[in-house]
Amino acid sequence: MSEQTMNPFLICQGQVKEACHQLGLEPAAYELLKQPKRFLEVSFPVKMDDGTVKVFTGWRSQHNDAVGPYKGGLRFHPGTYADEVRALSMWMTFKCATLGLPYGGGKGAVKCNPKELSQGELERLSRAFTERIAPLIGDDIDIPAPDVYTNAQIMAWITDEYSKLQGRNRFGVVTGKPIILGGSLGRNEATARGCVTVVLEACKKLGVDAAKATASIQGFGNAGSIAAILLAEKGVKIICAEDSRGCVYNAAGMDPKAILAHKTKHSTVADFPGAKNLPAGSSLTVECDILIPAALENSITSANAGGVKARIIGEAANGPTTPEADEVLFSKGIFVIPDILASAGGVTVSYFEWVQNLMGYYWSEQEVNEKLGPMMVKSFTAVYDMHKAKGVSMRAAAFMVAVKRVADAMRVRGWLG
């Protein structure tokens, strides 16, 4: 595999090109979809606790707004870079379209390591970045949300800073906020809940009995840990859990709530009592029925795809599988529920949060979950039917469903000629 194909922007372009080709779309569709409509790079100073000033770089990528305002998370990570943000914003367009949400796609990032910043430094960084991107965001323009290493507190600072600049409260400018600031009940669990919903649908289609199934979780953060808890509630045995610092395994099954408590105390799943420590990457290749990649891009590659033994993969992360790995998994008959479907629960409840903000009327957690479940099942079914009808992978099918929706909107708007 050439190194070039690991660039998520090129990977996403390939996925979109294939869908445009399969759908027989006019050339202008791909020409418009292959890059963001608008891309902003900013730099800004932050006063550190020791009195020095550090300059940080960040981005906001606005890919497409044919069906509604740009929507997508904001990532704080030391390894992020411009092309990653471009790709993530493209995936958001198609994630929203897979679910039929009235949103386009956007994504932002700041290159930093939040694990090395104090709360005060993190707050000043979040506010300074908000000030830089403020001209391009808004509840009817572009609505950020949490992503890797960002959380409800950071969303609260962004809401406050943006509201100050506007001279009035604008709670709908971001989603994933604390409940007291207009956040939605159920938002924190939504990515995991959506993923587990479609994994259980896949179990039904493939005749896998969830109550007898085993699962391995790669990435024990917000999405992965909650997915493990929700799967365990359905009787699935969690036999392996991995985070950036360790990987633990117990064939008899582990209590995911206990793993989470251990991780909260020790900052890693490593050395979880009663479990065996395995080398990094092992969660992807252990024998199990369900594999949940819930970490970063390019986790399943041609180097390890041959060793994957799961029957179902539910991609809770964005872009965890490279195209080369996809081909290997497809040829092995592994049922992959792609990221733009399996990780869409978060943005779906973000949509509910935004609707509640604009209405000023708030729903119970039960109402939120009762709306999320059927939307995930309906989207799963649309993608599954396309996969069966065209004989293509679930990923190719999801892109066909999504690209068609966006192209239809661009066509009626007159963007395609």
Catalytic residues: 107
Helix, strand, coil percent content, the chain, rounded in steps of 5: 50, 20, 30
Name the residue nearer to ligand GLU (CB basis): 99 or 239: 99
Angle, helices 345-359/82-99, rounded to nearest 10 degrees: 70
For the bound state, the minimum distance from the C-beta of residue 72 to ligand GLU, rounded and expressed in Å, comes to 5
* Alpha-carbon span 256 to 66, nearest angstrom: 41
For the bound state, the minimum distance from the C-beta of residue 219 to ligand GLU, rounded and expressed in Å, comes to 13
* Cα→Cα distances 133→147, 173, 280, Å: 17, 12, 37
- Residues 259 and 224 sit within 8 Å (Cβ to Cβ): no
Burial of residue 274, with CB atoms counted within 10 A of its CB: 0-12 exposed, 13-18 middle, 19 or more buried: exposed
For the bound state, the minimum distance from the C-beta of residue 309 to ligand GLU, rounded and expressed in Å, comes to 27
Pairing of strands 74-77, 105-111: parallel
- Annotate 302-370 with DSSP letters as a single string: TTTGGG---SEEE--SSS-B-HHHHHHHHHTT-EEE-HHHHTTHHHHHHHHHHHHHHHT----HHHHHH
* Alpha-carbon span 181 to 155, nearest angstrom: 10
* Alpha-carbon span 361 to 66, nearest angstrom: 27
Sheet arrangement for strand 246-254: 276-277, 246-254, 237-243, 214-218, 290-293, 312-314, 335-337
Name the residue nearer to ligand GLU (CB basis): 178 or 416: 178
H helix count then E strand count, the chain: 13, 13
Name the residue nearer to ligand GLU (CB basis): 95 or 170: 95
Name the residue nearer to ligand GLU (CB basis): 246 or 338: 338
For the bound state, the minimum distance from the C-beta of residue 253 to ligand GLU, rounded and expressed in Å, comes to 29
For the bound state, the minimum distance from the C-beta of residue 147 to ligand GLU, rounded and expressed in Å, comes to 4
Name the residue nearer to ligand GLU (CB basis): 107 or 237: 107
* Alpha-carbon span 207 to 142, nearest angstrom: 41
DSSP 293: E
Name the residue nearer to ligand GLU (CB basis): 347 or 407: 347
- CA angle in degrees (0–180, nearest 5) for 224-349-361: 145
Q: Cα 26 vs. chain centroid, distance in angstroms?
A: 29
- Name which of 98, 97, 125, 93 is nearest 109 in CA terms: 125
For the bound state, the minimum distance from the C-beta of residue 69 to ligand GLU, rounded and expressed in Å, comes to 11
* Alpha-carbon span 249 to 407, nearest angstrom: 45
Name the residue nearer to ligand GLU (CB basis): 86 or 237: 86
For the bound state, the minimum distance from the C-beta of residue 214 to ligand GLU, rounded and expressed in Å, comes to 27
Q: Which helix (H) or strand (E) holds 82?
A: helix 82-99
For the bound state, the minimum distance from the C-beta of residue 320 to ligand GLU, rounded and expressed in Å, comes to 12
- Annotate 246-279 with DSSP letters as a single string: EEEEEEEEE-HHHHHHHHHHHSSSTT-TT-EE--
Burial of residue 122, with CB atoms counted within 10 A of its CB: 0-12 exposed, 13-18 middle, 19 or more buried: buried
Name the residue nearer to ligand GLU (CB basis): 283 or 350: 350
The residue nearest ligand GLU at its CB is: 73
Q: Which residues bind ligand GLU (CB under 6 A)?
A: 71-73, 95, 145, 147, 175-176, 318, 343, 346-347, 350
